[in-house]
Structure 1
Amino acid sequence: MKRLFLAGVSLTAVSLFNAAHAADANPPLLKAPSSTCDPYKNYSCLDSYLGSDFFTRFVNYYRLEWGHDAAPSDPKAPPSRRAYWPTTPQSTPPMPFADWPYGGSTNIGDTRPSSVDSPLMAALGNTPAGQWMNDAHIQVYGWVNAGGNLSNNTVKGGNSPAAYDYNPNTVQLDQAVVYIERLPDTVQKDHVDWGFRLAPIYGENYRYTTAYGLWSNQLLNQNKNYGYDLPMAYGEVFVPQVLEGLMFRFGRYISIPDIEAQLAPNNYMYTHSMTYTFDNYTNTGLNTTLAVTKNWMFQLGLTVGTEAMPWHVGQKIDNPAPNPLFPNSTMLKDPGAQPSVSVGVRYTTDSGNDGVYVVANGINNGTWGYNNLQWYGLTYYHKFNDQWHISFETYNEHQNNVLNANNPAALASFLAGGTPFSPQVMPFNSPFLAQCSNAAVFSCTASVQTFLTYISYKPTPLDNISYRLEYFDDQQGQRTGVKTRYVETGIGWQHWFSPQIEIRPEVSYYRALDAAAFNGNANLGIAPNKKDALIGSADIIIHF
């Protein structure tokens, strides 16, 4: 029955693909209210178009934007970017971002408060609560994201190391997300401004945002399919008088490198590259971003590691099986929870056509932690013309002193509870051991080298077609659990029915070159038995 249902989902996606533009032109269920008012032609009639009560305004806002690639433009709105700032290279829709992405800061030079296009905020606009929020420049918005996949894998969790479709042949709630935020005004240069964001998430994707020590029992002790997290909880202070602007961000935030992000709308495709799946997700601490000129930005951050919480710094647990790596009767609960430094440099051309971003993220002594990855890499973007652009990422990441799975004494210590990540402490989804080339050593350094490219084409203002190609070398098997090189390629179509509703069907092929890596599940003790994975998937994102 499940396969029949999934086949129906796939056929529906194909039907949507064939009928997309016809639907845009004349959506059968979204006919405009019986009024001569068109806010796209006369913005002043927006309120009369939307109506007076909350539900009517909410539904009518979706109707208003259906088939359009942007909200109606307010002619009285202040400029959305500094006049001399590099040109914004992309638009949303159909791309997942307008500026070439960089992390740890609200975009400097082109961010205005209350600038997010939201049906919920439009519906609240004429209520006392909505008016107070507008006056305070606070917005509440978000999305619901659900999807499914068909795969040649059959074991629960067997699509891994592919992501975010961990379980093969299923339909799932990927993420339901709410943003509560105030955006600082980074266009102006005459006063200090501030902002914040709280972003709770619920769904299957929590397993990719979990930080050790923050509701992590859901994943590490219970292995729940659905869970909740708070991947972003930060405040910001923007000081425009320092050169072209200085931003302070403090709290928990998405780590600064990468093309992709955990949040569904910020990605070209439904699934994620392995490059993104196995690197740094979140940092907690302070990050500073300084726009030295309109082209150059520098970043410096001080955090407690990666996927680590401040209250784990220095915290110890009993060690029932002392060993050369953890020789005492107690050991650190998470050796990766320690002071760490991040540094970034970003350059953008005046035309906005090129952007390069070089980052060292979460740098400390690199000892084996929950996710204590020492990340060194770069992203590069180039816009060929209004239809074509390319995104490229490469990094090397490593951890030191990772227990050697090929050493019998080290493995025995792990099974006896002699590490912070032994099954007695962390029964599910614990960090993998290293498969060191020398079986005589108790531990070794585990490294990954990766190369990732997206080629994106915009055939219409509401459509993006992205081709993904990557090479991922898990040199000691510590990231994926299998010591092998991977190649992966996939193509996806991102179609927006409006700025609020999008679908993303795709197909991807994965190949493990050196050993079977798919159709297994370490939590269930099932070894992988396939070198190849072919996965077709699709999702829908409904913004509110």
Structure 2
Amino acid sequence: MKRLFLAGVSLAAVGLFNAAQAADANPPLLKAPASNCDPYKNYSCLDGYLGSDFFTRFINYYRLEWGHDAAPSDPKAPPSRRDYWPATPQSTPPMPFTEWPYGGTTSIGVTRPSSVDSPLMAALGTTPAGQWMNDAHIQVYGWINAGGNLSSNTVRGGNAPAAYDYNPNTVQLDQAVLYIERLPDTVQKDHVDWGFRIAPIYGENYRYTTAYGLWSNQLLNQNKNYGYDLPMAYGEVFIPQIAEGLLLRFGRFISIPDIEAQLAPNNYMYTHSMTYTFDNYTNTGLQSTLAVTKNWMLQLGVSVGSDTMPWNAGAKIANPFPNPLFPGTTMLKDPGAIPSVTGGVRWTSDSGNDSIYVVADAINSGTWGYNNLQWYGLTAYHKFNDQWHISFETYNLHQNNVLNANNPAAVAAFNAGGTPFSPQYLPFNAPGLAQCSSATVFACTASVQTYLAYLNYKASPLDNISYRIEFYDDKQGQRTGVKTRYVETGIGWQHWFSPQIEIRPEVSYYKSLDANAFNGNSNLGIAPTKNFALIGSADIIIHF
């Protein structure tokens, strides 16, 4: 019933807004927009078009933007970017971003406060609360994202290592997200400004955002299908007087590299690449970003590992089975919760057509931790023309001292509770073991090499077609659970009905080259039975 309900909600949402445009009559008790007012031609009549009460303004804002690729433009608004800054390469719609993605910071030189287009903020505009938020440059907005898939897999959880459609042949609530934020003004250069973001999330996608120690029992002790998380909770200070601007971010935030992002609207396609699925997700600490010139940015940050919380640092648990890797009667709860350094260099051409971003993420001793991944790689972007661009990513990541799944003594220690990630502590979704090349070693280094590319075509101002291809080599099987190389390819269509509603149908094919990797579930003790997966999927995102 839940699946049918979610499917009905998704379809009804599209039908509701389509009907709102097609019908000649307005819904009962809902005031019609002013017939002689078009805010796209005369912005001053926007309030007259929207109406005066909250519900009317909320619905009429969706009406207003339906079929358009942007909100009405306020002629009195200040410039949205510095006039000498590299050109903005993309637009939203139809792409999921305007600037080539880089993390750990609000985009420097191109961000104004209160600049997010939101039906909720428009509806609140005439209320005392909305007026106070506008004066304080605080915005509240978000989205609801639901989707489903048809798959060649049949086992619950059997689509993995594909993501974010973990369960095959189902409809699900992927994520409901609320942003409460203040964007710092990074265009101006005359005063220090500040910002913050609080971003709770609920849905199936919590599975990918969870950090050890923050509500992680939902995933690690209960394996819930739906859960909640807080992947972003940070403050920011922007200091424009240093070079072209220095931004300091402190708190929990999305880790800085990658083409893709955890939040649905920031991605070309509904599903994610394996490249994104199995690397660092969030860091908690301090990240600095310095715009040295308009073309060059430098980043330096410190964190407590990745995907783990600061209070795990130094915390110990009992060790009932001392062994060569954990020889004492106690052991660290998370050996990866240690001081770590992140560094990055970004270059962008004057035209904005090209960008290269080189990053070393959450670097420390690299010992086996909850998700203590030593990430070294880059992303690169090239815009051929207004219709075509390509995005490319490659990285190598590793962990040291990962327990050897091919060593009987190591497996015995694991099963007896001799590691922080044994089933006595983390019965579900625990960090994987390494399938080392030699059965004589107790532990070894586990590493991954990956290559990913997206070729993207802007078919219209409201349509983007993305082709994805990747190669993923899980050399010791620690990330996916299977020691194999993978190839994956998929094509997706991102169609926007307006800046507030989009759908993303796609089809993807996965192949594990050296062993079966699909249609299994390690949490249920079911070994994979297939070396391929063919998955068709689609989702809808409704912004508010």
Whether TM-score is above 0.5 comes out as: yes
Residues 95 and 29 of structure 1: CA distance in aligned 2, closer, same or farther (over 3 Å): farther
TM-score, normalised to structure 1, is 0.96
Output the CA distance in 2 between the equivalents of 1:500 and 1:514: 43
Which residue of the partner structure matches residue 521 of structure 1?
Answer: 521
Cα deviation, residue 28, structure 1? 4.6
How many aligned residue pairs are there? Answer: 535
Output the CA distance in 1 between the equivalents of 2:535 and 2:274: 14
Deviations 1:29-52 (A, max 9, x none): 897735110000000000000000
Deviations 1:101-159 (A, max 9, x none): 00000000000000000000000001100000000000000000000000010000000
Q: Which runs of 5+ in 2 are unaligned?
A: 27-31
Taking only the aligned residue pairs, the percentage that are identical comes to 82
Output the CA distance in 2 between the equivalents of 1:30 and 1:379: 50
Cα deviation, residue 291, structure 1? 0.1
Output the CA distance in 2 between the equivalents of 1:505 and 1:25: 23
Deviations 1:203-257 (A, max 9, x none): 0000100000000000000000000000000000000000000000000000000
Give the conservation status (yes or no) of the 8 Å contact 1:24–1:67: no
Residues 36 and 104 of structure 1: CA distance in aligned 2, closer, same or farther (over 3 Å): same
Query: What aligned pairs does 1:43-82 form with structure 2 within 5 A after superposition?
Result: 43-82=43-82
Output the CA distance in 1 between the equivalents of 2:219 and 2:50: 43
Deviations 1:463-520 (A, max 9, x none): 0000000000000000000000000000000000000000000000000000000000
Q: Does 1:443 align with 2:443?
A: yes
Which residue of the partner structure matches residue 367 of structure 1?
Answer: 367
Give the conservation status (yes or no) of the 8 Å contact 2:284–2:309: yes
Q: Does 1:314 align with 2:314?
A: yes
Query: In structure 1, the residue corresponding to 2:120 is in which secondary structure?
Result: helix
Residues 156 and 130 of structure 1: CA distance in aligned 2, closer, same or farther (over 3 Å): same
Q: Does 1:183 align with 2:209?
A: no
Output the CA distance in 1 between the equivalents of 2:55 and 2:539: 26
Residues 454 and 28 of structure 1: CA distance in aligned 2, closer, same or farther (over 3 Å): farther
Give the conservation status (yes or no) of the 8 Å contact 2:33–2:48: no
Query: In structure 2, the residue corresponding to 1:306 is in which secondary structure?
Result: coil
Output the CA distance in 1 between the equivalents of 2:49 and 2:273: 42
Which residue of the partner structure matches residue 159 of structure 1?
Answer: 159
Give the conservation status (yes or no) of the 8 Å contact 1:30–1:66: no
Output the CA distance in 2 between the equivalents of 1:77 and 1:141: 20
Which residue of the partner structure matches residue 345 of structure 1?
Answer: 345
Query: What aligned pairs does 1:24-173 form with structure 2 within 5 A after superposition?
Result: 27-28=22-23, 33-173=33-173
Query: In structure 1, the residue corresponding to 2:396 is in which secondary structure?
Result: strand
Give the conservation status (yes or no) of the 8 Å contact 2:335–2:369: yes
Output the CA distance in 2 between the equivalents of 1:258 and 1:475: 21
Could you tell me which amino acid in structure 1 is paired with residue 364 of structure 2? N
Residues 182 and 384 of structure 1: CA distance in aligned 2, closer, same or farther (over 3 Å): same
Give the conservation status (yes or no) of the 8 Å contact 2:319–2:418: yes
Cα deviation, residue 27, structure 1? 4.2
Give the conservation status (yes or no) of the 8 Å contact 1:24–1:66: no
Which residue of the partner structure matches residue 502 of structure 2?
Answer: 502
Which residue of the partner structure matches residue 231 of structure 2?
Answer: 231
Give the conservation status (yes or no) of the 8 Å contact 1:2–1:170: no
Q: Which runs of 5+ in 1 are unaligned?
A: none
Output the CA distance in 1 between the equivalents of 2:480 and 2:25: 45
Residues 163 and 275 of structure 1: CA distance in aligned 2, closer, same or farther (over 3 Å): same
Output the CA distance in 2 between the equivalents of 1:12 and 1:232: 30
Query: In structure 1, the residue corresponding to 2:205 is in which secondary structure?
Result: helix
Which residue of the partner structure matches residue 291 of structure 1?
Answer: 291
TM-score, normalised to structure 2, is 0.96
Deviations 1:234-282 (A, max 9, x none): 0000000000000000000000000000000000000000000000000
Could you tell me which amino acid in structure 2 is paired with residue 116 of structure 1? V
